């Protein structure tokens, strides 16, 4: 059952009314008079210096107006294929007499790849801004539209956040057409469906819903279409905007929608019956539904031998627990349960903390905040100096704080080990959840000891078990238990042992 969702409206009512009035004005049909069309379109594109208006006369002395966005179209190719023959030879004639440009367009007498006609100002404006060329002729109420887009785009490169040792090096870029081509290259089947829609009243961003017909879960697919169809925002720039509108639990620290820049990962997910959402202007595609265990899986898991992968997964899962619980466990043991620590180790910790002026909990929180700040600074700084600043900053600040007696040495070790463990989580957005919950566990451990940690762990588990992603339980295949899917949860079984849908 689809829940009522009210996260689509983002602008005040008066702005929506003004926008609606403006849109209704654009719905007017084109005029037979070219001068009137020129004046109205010039008014619409007022103060738009990148919009080019060019006027010509054809062989039959008819006035012609060409409109396009400078830099977004291949104007020279259009002049050679359409405009030049039109100017010097007139309308192309075939088996029947051609009397208008729109008629020639309908009969596909021009050598452009994609051409059509438009009858309203809204259609002309929309297609011109979508890298098409509009041609208007005097005494014709239809405009000729030619798709001659030539937009500069980034080359296909290896994704920086999802690099692999043995996998392919191709990644999505900001061009939706390129991304669709990369996906089609990996799944050359007619079962691969890619439905296109537009989102955003102002941006009108092209969005594609991709799935494999006959394999996709029809309930999930319908839920995706319903949620996307309810988005009424004025601005949708890329996939992250869509993610916030359609996710089940927006206040949960755990992501419920997988994002990736790898076409091979998208292809693998489609074979599992999932749905991909790709948008123009974004190198990241969204995949739904997502489960907790997907956040701990890396693309390399399916390119390496299963023995090595299983060993790495055990280490990865262990480090994930360390990144979440290590600081809280240190605080609760040294503050409330010193008897659980071996005496030689406790003596060493006590000696190191002898000159520290702050309680253990305050020390840990301070160092965690410093570490998070250094990590954020390393991301925002230029790539040449970012890692250097974060590493040197951590070493200098940690060493200086220990020598000054402000922070004890064991705290620096615990926080450093926790930071390293958090890097073992393969998905950045999933690791953020562990980083946020680490502070929650710290506060509970500092106030209630082991009981507080137990309360925190139980709260996290209850939250994970009760949450769903597009109708699929977030903690499956553990809760509820699905035996076949557990072959690729913590331990990856060999491909020849898997039953049903494959991950490869």
Listed residue (287, 45, 162, 452) closest to 170, CA to CA: 162
H-helix segments, 212-285: 218-229, 239-246, 263-271
pLDDT tens readout for residues 420-476: 888 888 888 888 999 999 999 999 999 999 999 999 999 999 999 999 999 899 998
What's residue 94's pLDDT? 44
Cβ burial of 40 (10 Å; 0-12, 13-18, 19+) is middle
CB burial of 80-114 (b: ≥16 within 10 Å; e: otherwise) equals ebbbebbeeeebeeeeeebebbbbbbeeebbebee
Distance CA(208)–CA(175), nearest Å, equals: 12
Sheet-wide strand order for 143-147: 51-57, 63-69, 132-137, 143-147, 115-118
Would residue 340 be called left, alpha or beta, if left means φ above 0 and alpha means ψ between -120 and 50 degrees?
A: alpha
Q: What are phi and psi of 382, to 5 degrees?
A: -55, 150
d(CA 215, CA 276): 13
Low-confidence spans in the chain with pLDDT less than 50: 1-4, 10-11, 14, 93-98, 107, 500-504
**H or E element in which residue 380 lies:** helix 360-380
CB atoms within 10 A of CB 207: 23
Strand ranges across the sheet with 258-260: 192-199, 205-212, 275-279, 285-288, 258-260
Residue 240: CA count within 13 A, CB half-sphere: 7
The answer for residues whose C-beta is within 8 angstroms of residue 12's C-beta and 6 or more apart is: none
CB neighbourhood size of 248 (10 A): 20
Other beta carbons within 10 angstroms of residue 149's beta carbon come to 16
* pLDDT value, residue 105: 56
**Under a CB-based contact definition with an 8 Å cutoff, are residues 314 and 497 in contact?**
no
Q: What is the CA radius of gyration of the chain?
A: 30
**Residues 248/236, Cβ–Cβ less than 8 Å:** no
Three-state SS for 439? helix
Tokens standing for residue 74: 């291949």
Domain boundary assignment for the chain = 31-147, 176-290, 303-487
pLDDT tens digits along 255-312 = 999 999 999 999 999 998 999 999 988 888 999 999 999 988 888 888 888 888 888 8
Three-state SS letters, 301-367: HHCCCHHHHHHHHHHHHHHHHHHHHHHHHHHHHHHCCHHHCCHHHHHHHHHHCCCCCCCHHHHHHHH
SS3 of residue 498 by DSSP: coil
Instruction: Yes or no: say if 105 and 127 are a contact pair by the CB < 8 Å rule.
Output: no
Pick from 474, 470, 472: nearest CA to 228: 470
Question: What's the pLDDT score for residue 271?
Answer: 92
Signed CA dihedral, 22, 27, 32, 34: sign only:
positive
- For Cα atoms 179, 185, 188, give the angle at the middle one, nearest 5 degrees: 125
């Amino acid at each position: 059952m689809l829940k009522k969702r009210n996260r689509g409206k983002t602008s005040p009512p008066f702005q929506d009314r003004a926008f609606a009035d403006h849109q209704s004005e654009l719905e007017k049909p084109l005029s037979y008079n070219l001068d009137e069309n020129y004046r109205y379109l010039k008014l619409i594109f007022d103060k738009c210096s990148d919009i080019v208006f060019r006027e010509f006369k054809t062989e039959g002395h008819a006035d012609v107006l060409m409109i396009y966005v400078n830099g977004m179209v291949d104007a020279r190719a259009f002049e050679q294929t359409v405009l030049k023959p039109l100017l010097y030879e007139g309308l192309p004639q075939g088996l029947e007499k051609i009397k208008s440009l729109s008629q020639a367009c309908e009969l596909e007498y021009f050598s452009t790849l994609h051409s059509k006609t438009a009858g309203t100002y809204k259609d002309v404006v929309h297609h011109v801004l979508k890298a098409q060329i509009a041609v208007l002729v005097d005494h014709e109420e239809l405009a000729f539209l030619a798709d001659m887009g030539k937009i500069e785009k980034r080359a296909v490169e290896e994704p920086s956040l999802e690099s692999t040792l043995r996998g392919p090096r191709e990644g999505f870029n900001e061009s939706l057409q390129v991304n669709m081509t990369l996906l089609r290259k990996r799944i050359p089947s007619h079962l691969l469906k890619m439905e296109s829609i537009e989102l955003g009243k102002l941006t009108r961003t092209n969005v594609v819903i991709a799935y494999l017909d006959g394999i996709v879960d029809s309930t999930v697919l319908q839920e995706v279409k319903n949620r996307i169809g309810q988005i009424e925002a004025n601005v949708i720039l890329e996939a992250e905007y869509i993610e916030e509108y359609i996710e089940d639990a927006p206040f949960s620290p755990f992501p419920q929608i997988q994002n990736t820049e790898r076409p091979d990962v998208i292809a693998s997910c489609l074979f599992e019956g999932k749905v991909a959402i790709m948008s123009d202007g974004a190198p990241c595609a969204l995949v739904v539904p997502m489960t907790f265990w997907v956040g701990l899986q890396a693309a390399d898991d399916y390119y390496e031998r299963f023995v090595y992968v299983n060993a790495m997964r055990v280490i990865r899962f262990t480090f994930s627990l360390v990144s979440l619980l290590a600081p809280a466990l240190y605080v609760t043991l040294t503050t409330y349960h010193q008897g659980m620590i071996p005496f030689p180790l406790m003596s060493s910790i006590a000696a190191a903390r002898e000159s520290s002026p702050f309680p253990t909990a305050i020390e840990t929180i301070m160092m965690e905040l410093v570490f998070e700040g250094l990590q954020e600074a390393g991301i925002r700084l230029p790539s040449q100096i970012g890692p250097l600043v974060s590493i040197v900053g951590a070493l200098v600040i940690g060493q200086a704080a220990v020598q000054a007696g402000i922070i004890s040495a064991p705290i620096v070790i615990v926080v450093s080990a926790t930071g390293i463990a958090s890097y073992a989580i393969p998905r950045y957005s999933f690791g953020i959840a562990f980083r946020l919950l680490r502070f929650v566990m710290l506060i509970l451990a500092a106030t209630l000891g082991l009981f507080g940690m137990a309360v925190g762990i139980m709260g996290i588990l209850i939250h994970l078990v009760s949450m769903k992603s597009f109708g699929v339980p977030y903690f499956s295949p553990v809760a509820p238990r699905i035996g076949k899917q557990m072959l690729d949860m913590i331990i990856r079984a060999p491909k020849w042992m898997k039953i049903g849908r494959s991950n490869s």
